[in-house]
Amino acid sequence: MPLISFTDKGLYCAQGNFYIDPWQPVDKAVITHAHSDHARPGSQAYLCHHHTLPLLQLRLGQGHYQAVEWNEKVYFNEVTVSLHPAGHIIGSSQIRVEYKGEVWVVSGDYKTEADGFSGDFEPISCNTFISESTFGLPIYNWKPQQEIYHDIQNWIRTNEVANKTSVLIGYSLGKAQRLLKAVEEVTGSIYVHGAIWNVHETLTQAGWKLPAVQRITPDMPKETFKSSVVIAPPSADGSPWMRRFSPHSTGICSGWMQVRGNQRRRNADAGFALSDHADWNGLLKAVKATGAEKVFITHGFQSAFSRYLNEIGIDAHEVKTEFGTEDEESQLTN
């Protein structure tokens, strides 16, 4: 019996009787991060990082939550569980599971470049590593985020000159907070969509220092947004809600923007390949750093990535999960 098995309900540790990011309600769920395809409602008890806690409460409502620090040990029967920074979004964690000297690590979603608030991705040595592969093809190589921020800032300035509002499209949890960082250097007037506002409020109340933003409300006159910067979630893109910003230019911020076709399909004026996931080299580096004898590859380009790992001498297998439906993992709805 492997320490973690792949079941209909999700990744299951029988020895400790808990699930990691289950997609159906269970008794005990250990949660990597607060995106809805990893943190689903209905379970009896949740364990997460304390930065994730307010976000889980925001998204799943009241429930039985236990929050821990990174590296803090929690015991399920004789199984030791600890959380370690994954660098994906605020609070996102890899889950380390140890039983009788055997170590498994579930990556959740991760990125290897530090973004300033998600915690720096920590390589953990283990016997078995379960990794995501959202951008598991070598065409996905991110530019350093400072360069992308610089591009975004230039774009905003260009729009200002043309008297256009800059509307940045990014996922409300994760991407939006990074964008605020990039944007606050060039403007003081930042307006956000309600979905981003909710996350913003939750984080601010939890003690995070984020740039001041204003929530967009229906009563705001059109002139309010003139030449300002707006941050909105993907669901708003192309909706009537956007009309109030006219004339505006839309910039989509997602790893998928790496490929021209995606950018053109989304009809974006600009695309910024800013991702909260590891790129190809990031994935490779992370997998190698674990020193794992066996690797399972979940959601993304799992077939190509695991085949490549096998060719370079790493025993890798594809696993089907129900992850990858929220945030930039799903390129169609986002």
CB 309, CB 288: distance < 8 Å: no
Among 9, 59, 150, 288, binds other proteins (CB under 8 A): 150
Residue 36 or 267 having the CB closest to other proteins: 267
- DSSP, collapsed to helix, strand or coil, labels residue 305 as helix
Min dist CB 308 to other proteins, Å, is 6
Min dist CB 87 to other proteins, Å, is 22
Min dist CB 299 to other proteins, Å, is 12
Residue 77 or 141 having the CB closest to other proteins: 141
Stretch of 68-76, 97-105, 204-212, 305-313 lying at the interface with other proteins (CB under 8 A): 305-313
Among 267, 291, 293, 310, binds other proteins (CB under 8 A): 267
Residue 62 or 163 having the CB closest to other proteins: 163
CA 150 – CA 147 distance, rounded (Å): 5
Total residues binding other proteins (CB under 8 A):
34
Identify which of 324, 165, 166 has the alpha carbon closest to the alpha carbon of residue 255: 324
Identify which of 107, 138, 100 has the alpha carbon closest to the alpha carbon of residue 121: 107
Question: Does 80 participate in binding other proteins (rule CB under 8 A)?
Answer: no
C-alpha 320 chain-centroid distance: 19
Question: Does 14 participate in binding other proteins (rule CB under 8 A)?
Answer: no
Q: Find out whether the peptide bond into 218 is cis, omega within 30 degrees of 0.
A: no
Among 36, 66, 139, 291, binds other proteins (CB under 8 A): 139
Q: DSSP per residue over 234-291, as a string?
A: GGGTTSGGGGGG-SEEEEEESGGGGSHHHHHHTT-SEEE---SS--HHHHHHHHHHHT
Q: Which residues bind other proteins (CB under 8 A)?
A: 137-141, 143, 147, 150-151, 154-155, 158, 251, 258-265, 267-272, 301, 304, 307-308, 311, 331-332
